[in-house]
Amino acid sequence: MKSDISFDRIADRYDETRGGLSRGLGFVRVLDTLLEPGSDVLEIGVGTGAVAQPVVECGHQLWGIDLSRAMLTRAATRVGRLVEGDAARLPFAGDAFDAVIAVWALHVVGDQERLTHEIDRVLRPKGRLIVVAPRPEVESNDLADLTYGWGRLLDKADRTEQVTRLLTADGWSAVAQLATAWEQTQETPADRADSIERRDWSSLWDLDDETWSRAIQPVIEALRGLPQPDRPRTLRVRYAVAAFTRDDG
């Protein structure tokens, strides 16, 4: 992936903080309904292979690409066909894949126009781009409201929406809009405060000190100030899945 940030720094904790294989299995239950049997699939931002492994187990052939060597090292324990490279300069021939999937990935690719051109190039006629948006629907509680609220404080746009607009303007059409089932995890406010303080989340990595003090430090303090901060809360979230195809495909 082409990004201003490297995921090498979080590779050893990525599955722990993002749900790992269990979350990947949940996504693939939806993704598989959008794929033809035995599809040739490219996953952009394959990461640790938590999505790629169940895609392969569903009978599809998959290549994964990622810019982070440390993430790919972990993915190699799950899937075999991996390449270190830039999603905006895909090292594959044209018409190579039936589908391209991107789970929490498009929003960190720097050159969006070149990215969509490359996806179009490697997809076969009537091929599909399938995207899992990075921003979920969240059931409200004291932990969830703080945990998922700081993105709005940073005024970070959901770049998946930007890609959707770009695709539509470039002759792509949405052919499906689905959602994963509600998933539940248990987490304490204290653990989430520690995770934010460690900057486990990529949207925090490039913040300057002033922005951190204004937008993030108050969230950390509010999490630690919640009643019983060491008591686990239930987080219930679900993610949107969208599939696109070229109008002229």
> What is the reported pLDDT for 99?
98
Q: What is the pLDDT of residues 110-129, one digit of tens each?
A: 777 888 889 999 999 999 99
> What is the reported pLDDT for 109?
76
- The stretch 31-40 carries a mean pLDDT of 97
* Close Cβ partners of 71 (under 8 Å, ≥ 6 residues apart): 7, 8, 11, 14, 46, 47, 48
> What is the reported pLDDT for 104?
86
Q: Which two tokens stand for residue 37?
A: 């049997």
> What is the reported pLDDT for 212?
93
Is the pLDDT confidence value at 202 over 90?
no
From residue 1, how far is each of 4, 138, 157, 167 by CA, in Å?
10, 27, 19, 19
Is the pLDDT confidence value at 233 over 60?
yes
Q: What is the pLDDT of residues 54-74, one digit of tens each?
A: 999 999 999 999 999 999 999
Q: Which of 22-26, 76-80, 164-168 has the lowest mean pLDDT?
A: 164-168
List of domains in the chain:
7-246 (3.40.50.150)
> What is the reported pLDDT for 163?
67
> What is the reported pLDDT for 249?
57
Mean pLDDT (the chain) is 89
Rounded Cα distance between 181 and 133, Å, is: 14
| Three-state SS annotation for the chain | CCCCCCHHHHCCCHHHHHCHHHHHHHHHHHHHHHCCCCCEEEEECCCCCCCHHHHHHCCCEEEEEECCHHHHHHHCCCCCCEEECCCCCCCCCCCCEEEEEEECCHHHCCCHHHHHHHHHHHEEEEEEEEEECCCCEECCCHHHHHHCCHHHHCCCCCHHHHHHHHHHHCCEEEEEEEECCCEEEEECHHHHHHHHHCCCCHHHCCCCHHHHHHHHHHHHHHHHCCCCCCCCEEEEEECEEEEEEECCC
| Residue 3 banded pLDDT, cuts 50, 70, 90 | very low
| Residue 4 banded pLDDT, cuts 50, 70, 90 | very low
> What is the reported pLDDT for 130?
95
Q: What is the pLDDT of residues 157-187, one digit of tens each?
A: 555 666 677 778 878 898 998 999 888 899 9
> What is the reported pLDDT for 158?
58
